[in-house]
A and B are shown apart, each in its own frame.
Chain A
Amino acid sequence: MIGVVLRRSPARWFLPLGVVLALGVLIFRSRYWIGVWPQTAAAAQIPAILLSGLAAAAAAWSVTATTRFGMTEQMRAMVVPGWRRELPFALVVTGYFAGVILLCQVVAAVPTARTWPPGFGLVPGYVVMALVVIVLSVAFGHLVGKLLSGMFAAAVAGLAWLLIAMYLGQMIGLGVVSGPVWDEIDLPIVLARLLFAVALLALAIVIPPRSRARADGGWRRKGATWFGATALAATVLLLGVTVAAGSPIKARPPVATDECAGVTVKLCLWPEHAKYLPQIEAMAARLDQMPDSLEVPARIDEYGLTYRPGVPGQTVFTDVPDHPPYFALVEGSMWSVAVSIADIIGRKNIHPCTAPGTSKSDDEYLRAVEFVAWVEAYLVGGTGGPDYHTSAGADRQAAAARGVARAHHGTAEEQFAWALKTKNAFNDAPCQ
């Protein structure tokens, strides 16, 4: 039966289109995820979120086939109970979409596997997370298709699922858009969610249709009641378990790492970020070259490496005493590292007024902005500008642009001399 449905399901037309769309979403975007296992798996999970609306619609389309082809009478005459007739259709739709998502994971894994960095153990969580999205969307679509059973069922299922999934997506950790190394997906929680999704799909299959087809009692034949009761109990139980378990996105515990760069200033990375070590070493070398009169901490860790301020699963940047300061390497951006370190250096060297009700002039604060922007651009090196967008005021943006431009002109000694002069000028300026 499954073989017949597999060959005849309209979802088979989705297979080539789905593969193209999923791989397109994976490839036509930034490539920072290559070489970092959790980022690879998270990037390959995004197509599951984007295609889940179609999966819900396809499930509803599949379940309404009986009424669409006017086969209700023939199906009612079958000896086989209703849930056994529907099961292959639901499995085939799930299989087609899950197949596309798993293929996407395999294709994404190929370039990362060439260097095989540490952290492959973080991958299964993201894979299961993607499967949860697909199975849940199919269950939802099947349910809507069965309840509405009309011409608009598929469209309503697809749109409603997109609204629900996007609304709840970040709130309950249904999916992620990035897999930072300082987070991990709790495998038992996502497995419980997958079981819940399967139970919901079973429940969607076993409930009687809205139409008068239920009047024949076919839905109560051949153990349908037991199947339905089990599915209902499992759905309720697993819903309770998953709600109690909370979000599957957890903070990773600190790990010992030897991925550190620099001599006088040590910059330490998560082991999974080993591919960034050459760039971080170059940045540490630039930090080492800085004059002693510019105060720099002896060690700066990547976020979450030795301690984790804030709520698990959320990146909250706050200082904690007795720990080295930290930088964030976000989506492979060296500018994000430089911004964090420049902020640390700025706070160590630029001293605002401490007396209550006093402050330095606006010009002095713009001077401080220029100083910090220079540190950022100096640390990144090269001649490019920031890769981030800021909503700061025009005068602050102009000051930051001057600081970046200064890092691209003159010798290192000239730049250091300017930096010291700027720092002293700010610190010596009177508080008003």
Chain B
Amino acid sequence: MLRVSDEPSPLRLFIRSRRVPAGLILTGILCLLVPLIGHTVLPMPTSGTESGTVAVPAWRLVAVAIAFVPAICCQSPFGEGEAACGHHWRRLRTLVLAVYSTGSAVLLTVICWIAFGDAIAVAVLRGFIGWWGFSALTGRLLGWRLAWAGPLAALPLLIFWGFSLEGPRWWEFTARPAGDGPAWAVAIALLAVGVLAYEADPWRRQQLRAVLRAVGRTTHQ
């Protein structure tokens, strides 16, 4: 029997059960790829230019993956049973996700700042914020293991429809200039949706339904 002092901390157990170490390795590899292949220009199909393609630097694709890896690490090996866990466990999950996501964002931004300059670093950070929100939404809807599916499906389509003869459209939040207001608004809206989706766990949704039922009954009376 383990002594109290030998018991692994809840944080350590949580991290090990979530494949966070594997996720961290993947994030590290992807961050290395950003300066190595980030400058490579990929001609991607688009509907808005005369040539039918738009030159997309590879860092824009790699940055998407760095944004969705933390959300995949929310996948629980305990399935739906974890939904019944208490406040402490949920807080631990939020803490790990927040630290992991913030660390990834800072690391990616710093790497891009060193490799490409401040304008691209700011645009990369904005893209990270938007993709993180979208992956959190996807993770809540399809399961955290599939948090990559939404961003991976949306990225080529965003590029396909996101360009016109004048350049990226206002909602193409990954390609607009660093200080572009509408692009920041889209990214922050995606982040807000993602945070709301993350917070809307089955327990809270149940509580919300109960409140709505109560309000409905009061209105009928």
Contacts and interface: CB of A to CB of B under 8 A. Distances in A.
A166 B40 CA distance: 11
A30 interface: yes
Interface string B128-171: 00000000000000000100110011011100110001100000
B80 to A, nearest CB: 15
Nearest to B58: A163
A21 B43 CA distance: 20
B73 to A, nearest CB: 8
B160 A166 contact: no
Contacts of A388: 50, 165
A150 interface: yes
B156 A152 contact: no
A175 B156 CA distance: 14
A151 B72 contact: yes
Interface stretch (B6-14, B63-71, B104-112): B63-71
Contacts of A170: 43, 53
Interface in A142-172: 150-152, 154-156, 158-159, 162-163, 166-167, 169-170
Which interface residue of B40, B65, B155 has the most chain A CB atoms within 10 A? B65
A389 to B, nearest CB: 4
Interface in B1-37: 19, 22-23, 26, 37
A177 B53 contact: yes
Contact of B43 (A46, A166, A330): A166
B44 interface: yes
B89 to A, nearest CB: 20
B72 A152 contact: yes
A53 B69 CA distance: 17
B61 A162 contact: yes
Which interface residue of B56, B69, B75, B145 has the most chain A CB atoms within 10 A? B145
Given A151-B75, A152-B26, A159-B152, A166 B65 contact: no
Given A28-B47, A50-B45, A330-B50, A155 B156 contact: no
Given A152-B23, A152-B72, A155-B148, A162 B50 contact: no
A29 B164 CA distance: 11
Contacts of B157: 21, 24-25, 50
B214 to A, nearest CB: 35
B65 A159 contact: yes
B152 A166 contact: no
B208 interface: no
Which interface residue of B40, B50, B52 has the most chain A CB atoms within 10 A? B52
B67 to A, nearest CB: 11
Contacts of B51: 177
B148 to A, nearest CB: 4
B65 A155 contact: yes
B156 A162 contact: yes
B42 interface: yes
Contacts of A159: 61-62, 64-65, 148, 152
B120 to A, nearest CB: 18
B47 A166 contact: no
B69 A167 contact: no
A372 interface: no
B26 A156 contact: yes
A49 interface: yes
B207 to A, nearest CB: 29
B2 to A, nearest CB: 26
B160 A152 contact: no
A422 interface: no
A51 B44 CA distance: 12
6 contacts: A68-B145, A151-B72, A152-B19, A158-B148, A170-B53, A388-B165
The 6 A-B pairs of least Cβ separation, nearest first, read A177-B52, A155-B148, A29-B47, A166-B42, A389-B165, A50-B156
Interface of A: 17, 21, 24-25, 28-30, 46, 49-51, 53-54, 57, 68, 150-152, 154-156, 158-159, 162-163, 166-167, 169-170, 175, 177-178, 330-331, 388-389
